[in-house]
Structure 1
């Protein structure tokens, strides 16, 4: 017997969970499918440490962060669960342009300071700043796994149904709706489908009954097995004084943040941005850390982070699903919405992305044009 639901959301990471919550809270019949469990350890929304920040080199994304933060605050109020810990953020490096970032924050009325390298080193002697530094205290760290579970809880509380261990194999047109089949042969009928499968998306696109013209209009989506390392604080009393950081130097782009419970609250999580190998899709991830990447990041810590022990005490891999220009993909054809809030910066926008995706899936409102590359493309 085939089950049915008016809206089916595939993928219970941050974006999928937020979309299911938005749809359910508007009174729609919703089923949320997850190939494993929400915030699965082998997907993109696991763990306790994702950067929340306002600093972007363009006004669009900074304004979107402001809008998203209001929704995060609403989630915290609704669940009674803290989801973002305040640490502040520093941005620096010859390729980061802190002065431009500061001008955007100034235009948007967001608290910040532009410091010289020496001023910043006095304030944070554990970091070897090499350029001017943007500091904005409103930044912090998102507990991704807790957030996913809280949002799923709200979706279920509003009537959504959660099905775990349901791995999508294909979607076929079925009259005016769709027939979904899992890899184990389970089936589900839907009037509308939202596909939010992260690093599995490239592998699935060809099996979703999407028009050829729509597929041709989508950006190239690539997946990296990103690698992150945890380094112990030399001064254990400094743990609460470490900000998040983004450092773009000529030879390396790195980011770091307090690691939280992912590694026992004992150190800073540091990674090279897009430093991991390209893989065809999440299905091909190995979970094996590249020794050369480990050495590059350890060498970075030796050079730029004197407050950390340069030998990693923990390490992990995760998934970065990227578009060429790092914009998100929130596009729709017929009654299928493709959702990929990717390129390593989507977590902070999760509740807003859920709102955008629900708006698009229901036809109640549009989404920013930059997220709809196939808008205006004829699919007939």
Structure 2
């Protein structure tokens, strides 16, 4: 069994370390800060697990990922996904087309009229005519707890997790690689997996990868996104579904915020954000945590118009990072013992434990990643 270094301890890195360690590989995780820290893309308690893709490839991938999540919950003894169901609606969302894909793949769902949906979920203002798609298998992932669970399982299988260990360059060292930090500290491994999200643009030029491979990688656009927590108007135990609402000029998503949205007074909070509504930055190193006032105004107005069950005044707000490819497909490929993994574009969290398996397969040479995730040189 070879020795692996996994750079990054977010959802992707933690999942990869767990999958490699359980196969008997020697694994060292190098995390620049702490696992699932707030400067990355895997922090907090609220990420959507949904099946609502127009592409059957991703719908099937969600179904496969759900089986991996179930196994992770069994092995960890924790509930990492809260069941909520999910709604897709809006004039530009095409719920009927999504329902046709669900029918084809075998995902339980209902296609409702706006009036039928409003009777069930009075907190929403549904437009007439376009319909509303409901699928009950969706839920909310506790991302931070999932990272902790996967790292705990990886450690139980012998993995070593090193925090406060940024990697600034990688060089050849004998039959493997030497990973160097800014303080000169070095770690050696036969194979390397790079899973650092929005920090990837800064490291790519310092990887000993062939120029044709680097040139063929899709361009990565890091976005500093904004998210807001809005209070529910009514106290109580009603479970809000996750949702995707798409109009011609904006795509908004929302979900119960879990610990991130904790409030007093019996009212829960709903996390609402505009998909790719933030600002582009060079890399994660350029983030400043500042909320865009224009984005806040758009979301407040959107909540006022379409979510009457929420008070249109956010009581908390935060930023997070999306690392986008032009097609929104992931990148999982490598050469000469270095695997680059960027399950990105704002929709990778739901696939985490499955992606760990796919990346471990790719890094070990057991099986290539799906073709659309590979780099064509």
The two structures have a TM-score, normalised by structure 1, of 0.96
1:135 corresponds in structure 2 to: 134
Render the CA deviation track for 1:93-112: whole Å, top value 9, x for unaligned: 12211111111111122110
Q: What residue number does 1:96 align with?
A: 93
Q: CA deviation at 1:365?
A: 1.0
Aligned ranges 1:1-380 → 2 under 5 Å? 6-130=3-127, 131-237=130-236, 240-264=238-262, 266-374=268-376, 377=377
Deviation at 1:117, TM superposition (A): 1.1
Q: Distance in 1 between matches of 2:299 and 2:56?
A: 31
SS of equivalent residue, structure 2 residue 270 = strand
**Offset, 1:228:** 0.2
Distance 1:109 1:57 in 2: 14
Matched length: 370
1:70 CA displacement:
0.7
Distance, in Å, in 1 between the alignment partners of 2:248 and 2:125 is 15
Show structure 1 runs of 4+ deviating over 6 A: none
- Aligned residue for 1:365, secondary structure, equals coil
TM-superposed deviation, 1:344: 0.7
In the TM superposition, residue 371 of structure 1 has moved relative to its aligned partner by 0.2
Question: Quick one: distance in 1 between partners of 2:185 and 2:6?
Answer: 16
What CA distance in whole angstroms lies between the structure 2 residues aligned with 1:360 and 1:82? 29
Deviates more, 1:135-144 or 1:244-253: 244-253
Matches of 2:85 and 2:252, distance apart in 1 = 17
C-alpha separation between the residues in 2 aligned to 1:231 and 1:268?
5
What root-mean-square deviation, in Å, do the aligned CA atoms of Structure 1 and Structure 2 show? 1.0
Give TM-score scaled by structure 2 length.
0.97
Offset, 1:195: 0.1
Which SS does the other structure have where 1:146 is aligned? helix
Q: 1:240 & 1:278 partners in 2: Cα distance?
A: 37
Gaps of 5+ in 2: none
Deviation of the 1:176 alpha carbon? 2.1
Q: Which moves more between the two structures, 355-364 or 123-132? A: 123-132
